[in-house]
Amino acid sequence: MSILKIARMGHPVLRAVADRVEDPHDPEIQRLIADMKETMKDAGGVGLAAPQVFVSKAIMVYFVPSLRKSDDPDDGEVPVSVLINPEIEPIGDEVVDGWEGCLSIPGLQGVVPRWNKIRYRGLNEKGDEVERIAGGFHARVVQHEYDHLIGVMYPERIEDMTLLGFNEELREYPPETTFRQTAASDDAVAHPDEP
């Protein structure tokens, strides 16, 4: 396994719509998935999409640490998981705000609105179909990584650009603002792909 270089915002690979994976069993795909898991772990993130390692394919890896759990019954600890060719649909119309960071935008964080509850489908690394309902932080991570597969970065989702800044500054000067119920209220800085 290898630790891969992570693309930073501005690189065109992050703007492209990723290609579907034809054969999850392809040894190259299997190696990429193993490397993505290793890279996510090394970078201290909770999610990573293939375009972030310069591969424009619809693959994401993610997990939900227990400490990120919100009160949502569909939120909670998720082991390191793989989703290939994912599809997402919102359940209901509740939108929640929460802090996000991104391994491709090091040092920054912003408040991003996301669906509170989603259903997602795709293939796991064995090529089996998976379908899952996710809420809270789990739903946020999946939406953030899914966005990478359609060429969207989280700043494009931000509604209030005064809530985008450097981690250290925001820690020193927390914004005085009231969000719609945050997805990870036990953690002021809940970063989908950066701790």
> Shortest gap between Cβ of 148 and Ni ion (angstroms)?
6
Neighbours of 148 (CB within 10 A): 26
In the complex with Ni ion, the residue whose CB is nearer, 40 or 102, is: 102
Q: Are 189 and 99 in contact (CB under 8 A)?
A: yes
C-beta nearest to Ni ion: residue: 102
> Shortest gap between Cβ of 45 and Ni ion (angstroms)?
8
In the complex with Ni ion, the residue whose CB is nearer, 97 or 194, is: 194
145 is catalytic: yes
Nearest to 139, CA basis, from 159, 113, 161, 163 = 113
User: At 156, phi and psi to the nearest 5?
Assistant: -70, -20
> Shortest gap between Cβ of 96 and Ni ion (angstroms)?
18
> Shortest gap between Cβ of 25 and Ni ion (angstroms)?
27
The first and second tokens of residue 137, run together, are 């932080």
In the complex with Ni ion, the residue whose CB is nearer, 33 or 62, is: 62
Alpha helices in the chain (DSSP H): 27-43, 136-149, 167-172
The Cα–Cα gap between 65 and 110 comes to 20
Q: Which residues of 162-186 are buried (b: 16+ CB within 10 A; e: fewer)?
A: ebbbebeebeeeeeeeebebbbbee
Query: What is the DSSP code (8-state) at residue 195?
Result: -
In the complex with Ni ion, the residue whose CB is nearer, 92 or 98, is: 98
Of 131, 145, 168, 176, which is the active-site residue? 145
Binding site for Ni ion (CB under 5 A): 102, 193
Q: Which positions are catalytic? A: 145
